Amino acid sequence: MGRALESAEESVVIRGLVRFLDERSGTAPFVKKALRYVFPDHWSFLLGEVALYTFVILVGTGIYLTFFFEPSTASTYYAGHYAPLRGHEMSVAYRSAVDLSFKVRAGLLMRQTHHWAADVFVASIVLHMLRVFFTGAFRKPRDLTYYLGLTMLVFALLEGYLGYSLVDDLLSGMGLAIGYSVLMSVPFVGANLALLVWGAPFPGKAEFWSRMYVAHVFLLPILIATLLALHLFLVAARHHTQFRESRRTTEKKVVGIPTFPGYAPRSLGLFFSVAAVLFLLGGLVQINPIWLWGPYHIAQGTNGAQPDWYLGWLIGALRLVPNLDVTIGDYTLVPNAFWGGALFPLLVFMLLYLVPWLDRRATGEYGFRNLLDRPRDAPWRTALGAALFAWVFVIFLAGASDRVFVSFGISYVAQLWIYRVLVFVLPLAALIVTRRFCLALQESERLGQIRKQAEAEARGELPQTEQL
Amino acid sequence: MRRLLLLALALALPSAASAQPGLGVKAKTGQGLYAEHCLSCHGVDGSGVTSASHPRGVLDVRGLGPPLKDVGALAADFYLTTGYMPLEDPHEQPRHTKSPFDKREIAALVAYVASFGKGPPVPTPHPERGDVSVGLSLFTEHCAGCHQVVAEGGYVTNAVAPPLHEATPVQIAEAVRVGPYLMPRFEKSQISDAQLDSIIAYVQWAKHPDDRGGWSIGRIGPVPEGLVAWLIAAVALVGCCVVIGRRVRQ
């Protein structure tokens, strides 16, 4: 009784809203459709939304930062309150970032929240992608959606790297120096590419800073936002996938909750949760204390400089590849940095882009796939995915080997050799174990069903024919 | 009653600790201590021990221990107060530990080692005359490549450049002039005494920096930050998803 009344009231709200918009824009059919859009109901579908909302926070805090940050390499001297920097020569960019942290109202909160959001943004994209991969959600007709998502990940990595580099503190400078040498290492075209981007040999021309800035605050965010809009449009156009939950869910029919009144409040709740977590971190946990690092001057460095976590796998790869330069006479054709810094990520992303195609080839399924697999239902895909993940993960861990050495005293060289073995062994082990595990799960499920049926028959009930 | 017992125990403990083996009757004289704890590696009168059975000791040190002829009170004081010496295994990097000797014994040993030759005395730095800002520049230029810019330590080829939390001003001044293990030795022409005061002032400051932004997770940058992003933020948000996405059963 109560529920019926409630939903009647709610539909009045919907009707009012739709009428308001329709009278002014003629979009009633679209709005109605959007409000009645059905969301499948499983928590893992929310991971992508976390990424979306993190992006919103990134843009919001980022806009605040642009009001105060000056992207200039012009030289200046610090004369503020912070004693260890007083009298230091530094770029205007760095000084404005320090002032932003110490003087601007809520500046440090915004800067830290922005940085935490960047870390969490990539983390949530990765989680979302794992969900999509292991349930087979990337299959036709959603392969295009998948490609868009993957491209956003590439842009997100680049965007994060630029943000880290713009500040011109000691870690920024070292990160850029590594980026420069990796780009230089690309055979044949590397040197020209690096000169094109930097404008001059490292540390480059002043224009390089405005290039980075334009890319960071304008080009890449707009690109990501555009891809995001397309991504969401495609999701809606082809509808969400769903698990095969009951007989009601089929390839043709979606079961779940409509946008309004069911889903919108949940989604809003999730947005507030994301904002709360990010701002709490931004206010309570220090991230990238640039005032401690000091300004960057060429050829200076600090021990243990690291990129943000999402580029850690590249540092790991740079460390694991044995010293291997390909030379012709005096000419170094392929410097060592190429293998770990350029070839490795290219390979990983190529594999990821090929996933839908490889899956089609392997399974021979060219039709529409609207129902998700549970990971165990596709043992080979799950096992291969686990292997790829294990491979990248080991290399990622190797990126922190120096810290592990300092903190836990495990010999650095020994670690590198262990990782060099694990890089080959662990993916293989993950492959075998995961496949076995999937098959065992399937088997135990089958046995359980048989037992249930037998028990039902023993009790004299009719055999259940519900097929999962 | 129990309290009395505890008190008695507490009083008994220090004497129990000082009654360690090896620090017995002879412990009064530097020579005696040296004979007992150092001679096997550093030889008679600090002549050093090159041994065929240990063709390579620590780094370029051939044998068990280097000669101590002209190292002076400065090096002896540094190696003893940091607990680097007596070393247990000549193939291991010396680490900062609590010295097994008490103050008097260290003074006696230092005096004895200084008597081997004409080495520099224990320095008296004046960090209060130094400037933290100059110190940061100098530290970044000379030391941060190994010790990390906030002196949190780091990895250098096959060794730890230790964090400098425990180093006293005198030890810092000594370390710079000694160059222990694979740390380079800095002459006064490279780092003057006045500059050294600023470096020490900075290292002292870096132990408790004037900090902002909340819980400082190690001050070493992205590795702990990544851990927080995954183990706190990502876990919390996945938790939110699970709670918010809980099915409604109609």
The pLDDT, as a whole number, for residue A438 is: 96
Q: For an interface test with A, which of B155, B203, B247 has the most A Cβ atoms less than 10 Å from its Cβ?
A: B155
Mean pLDDT across A317-329 = 83
3-state secondary structure of B215: strand
Q: Which residues of A, range 379-438, sit inside 8 Å of B by Cβ?
A: 400-403, 405-406, 409, 411-413
CATH class name, domain A42-298+332-372: mainly alpha
Helix (H), strand (E) at residue B80: helix B72-81
Q: Hunting for tokens 């240990």 — which residue is that? A: B54
The pLDDT, as a whole number, for residue A465 is: 54
CB contact under 8 A, B245 and A84: no
ipTM of the complex: 0.91
Residue B233 is classified by DSSP as I
What confidence tens digit (pLDDT) does each residue in A158-193 have? 999 999 999 999 999 999 999 999 999 999 899 999
Residue A308 CB contacts under 8 Å (≥ 6 apart), including other chains: A118, A119, A160, A161, A164, B222, B225, B226
- Closest partner residue to A270 (CB to CB) among B215, B244, B248 is B244
Q: Which two tokens stand for residue A65?
A: 């930062």
How far apart are the CA of B248 and the nearest CA of chain A, in angstroms?
A: 8
Residues A73-85: b if buried by 16+ CB within 10 A, e if exposed: beebebeeebebb
Share the mean pLDDT of chain A: 91
Amino acid at A365: E
Q: Which two tokens stand for residue B91?
A: 């193939």
Residue B91 is classified by DSSP as T
Q: Does A50 touch chain B (CB under 8 A)?
A: yes
- Rounded Cα–Cα distance for residues A119 and A19 (Å): 42
- Rounded Cα–Cα distance for residues A178 and A301 (Å): 12
Q: For an interface test with B, which of A246, A287, A404, A405 has the most B Cβ atoms less than 10 Å from its Cβ?
A: A287
Q: Is residue A43 within 8 Å of residue B241, measured between CB atoms?
A: yes
Whether the link from the prior residue into A203 is cis, omega within 30° of 0, is: yes
Chain B CA closest to residue A286: B213
Reading phi first (left if > 0) and then psi (alpha if -120 to 50, else beta), residue A238 is in alpha
3-state secondary structure of B69: coil
CB contact under 8 A, B210 and A82: yes
Mean pLDDT across A449-464 = 82
CB contact under 8 A, B241 and A83: no
Q: What is the 3-state secondary structure (H, E, C) of chain A?
A: CHHHHHHHHHHHHHHHHHHHHHHHHCCHHHHHHHHHCEECCCHHHHHHHHHHHHHHHHHHHHHHHHCCCCCCCCEEECCCCCHHHCCCEEEHHHHHHHHHHHCCCCHHHHHHHHHHHHHHHHHHHHHHHHHHHHCCCCCCCCHHHHHHHHHHHHHHHHHHHHHHHHCCEHHHHHHHHHHHHHHHCCCCCHHHHHHHHHCCCCCCCHHHHHHHHHHHHHHHHHHHHHHHHHHHHHHHHHCCCECCCCCCCCCCCCCCEEHHHHHHHHHHHHHHHHHHHHHHHHHHECCCCHHHHCECCCCCCCCCCCCCHHHHHHHHHHHHCCCCCEEECCEEEECCHHHHHHHHHHHHHHHHHHHHHHHHHHHCCCCCCCECCCHHHCHHHHHHHHHHHHHHHHHHHHCCHHHHHHHHCCCHHHHHHHHHHHHHHHHHHHHHHHHHHHHHHHHHHHHHHHHHHHHHHHCCCCCCCCCC
How far apart are the CA of B241 and the nearest CA of chain A, in angstroms?
A: 5
CB contact under 8 A, B154 and A303: yes
| Phi, psi for A285 (deg, rounded to 5) | -120, 125
Residue positions counted in chain B: 250
Q: Which residues of A, range 322-381, sit inside 8 Å of B by Cβ?
A: none
pLDDT band with cut points at 50, 70 and 90 for residue A409: confident
Q: Does A286 touch chain B (CB under 8 A)?
A: yes
Chain B CA closest to residue A172: B221
Q: Does A245 touch chain B (CB under 8 A)?
A: no
- Rounded Cα–Cα distance for residues A387 and A411 (Å): 27
Residues of chain B with pLDDT under 50: 1-27, 54-59, 250
Amino acid at B169: P
Maximum CA extent, chain A = 90
| Phi, psi for B156 (deg, rounded to 5) | -125, 155
CB contact under 8 A, B211 and A289: yes
Q: Is residue A240 within 8 Å of residue A47, measured between CB atoms?
A: no
- Rounded Cα–Cα distance for residues A453 and A447 (Å): 10
Q: Which two tokens stand for residue A170?
A: 């000691």
The four Cα atoms A200, A201, A202, A206 give a dihedral, to 10 degrees, of -10
Higher model confidence: residue B14 or residue A371? A371
User: pLDDT over 70 for what percent of chain A?
Assistant: 96
Q: Does A301 touch chain B (CB under 8 A)?
A: yes
CB contact under 8 A, A303 and B153: yes
Radius of gyration of chain B (CA): 24
Q: Is residue A392 within 8 Å of residue A348, measured between CB atoms?
A: yes
Reading phi first (left if > 0) and then psi (alpha if -120 to 50, else beta), residue A364 is in left
Q: Hunting for tokens 């190797």 — which residue is that? A: A398
Contact residues, chain A, for B150 at CB < 8 Å: 292
* Bridge partners, residue A326, by sequence: A334
- Please state the domain extents for chain A: 1-36, 42-298+332-372, 374-453
Residue B49 is classified by DSSP as B
Angle between the N-to-C axes of helices A379-398 and A344-363, in degrees from 0 to 180, rounded to the nearest 10: 170
Residue positions counted in chain A: 468
- Closest partner residue to A304 (CB to CB) among B220, B228, B245 is B220
Long-range contacts of B13-18 (CB under 8 A, 24+ apart): B18/B102
How far apart are the CA of A406 and the nearest CA of chain B, in angstroms?
A: 6
Q: Up-side HSE of residue A302: CA atoms within 13 Å toward CB?
A: 32
Q: Hunting for tokens 């965010």 — which residue is that? A: A221
The pLDDT, as a whole number, for residue A369 is: 87
Chain A CA closest to residue B246: A43
- Rounded Cα–Cα distance for residues A296 and A298 (Å): 6
- Rounded Cα–Cα distance for residues A315 and A320 (Å): 9
Radius of gyration of chain A (CA): 26
- Rounded Cα–Cα distance for residues A282 and A64 (Å): 14
The four Cα atoms A391, A395, A397, A401 give a dihedral, to 10 degrees, of 150
The pLDDT, as a whole number, for residue B14 is: 39
Residue B127 is classified by DSSP as G
Is the pLDDT assigned to residue A430 strictly greater than 60? yes
Closest C-alpha to B152, from B196, B206, B97: B206
Amino acid at B125: P
The pLDDT, as a whole number, for residue B245 is: 85
The pLDDT, as a whole number, for residue B62 is: 56
pLDDT band with cut points at 50, 70 and 90 for residue A9: low
Q: What is B129-194 written as a DSSP string?
A: GS-HHHHHHHHHHHTHHHH-TTS--EEETTEEE--SSS--HHHHHHHHHH--TTSPP--TTTS-HH
Mean pLDDT across A300-312 = 92
Q: Up-side HSE of residue A61: CA atoms within 13 Å toward CB?
A: 24
What confidence tens digit (pLDDT) does each residue in A144-162 have? 999 999 999 999 999 999 9
Residue B249 CB contacts under 8 Å (≥ 6 apart), including other chains: none
The pLDDT, as a whole number, for residue A259 is: 82
Classify the C-alpha dihedral B75-B81-B82-B83 as positive or negative. positive
The pLDDT, as a whole number, for residue B22 is: 44
Contact residues, chain A, for B155 at CB < 8 Å: 303-304, 401-402, 405-406, 412
* Bridge partners, residue B65, by sequence: B49
Q: Does A123 touch chain B (CB under 8 A)?
A: yes
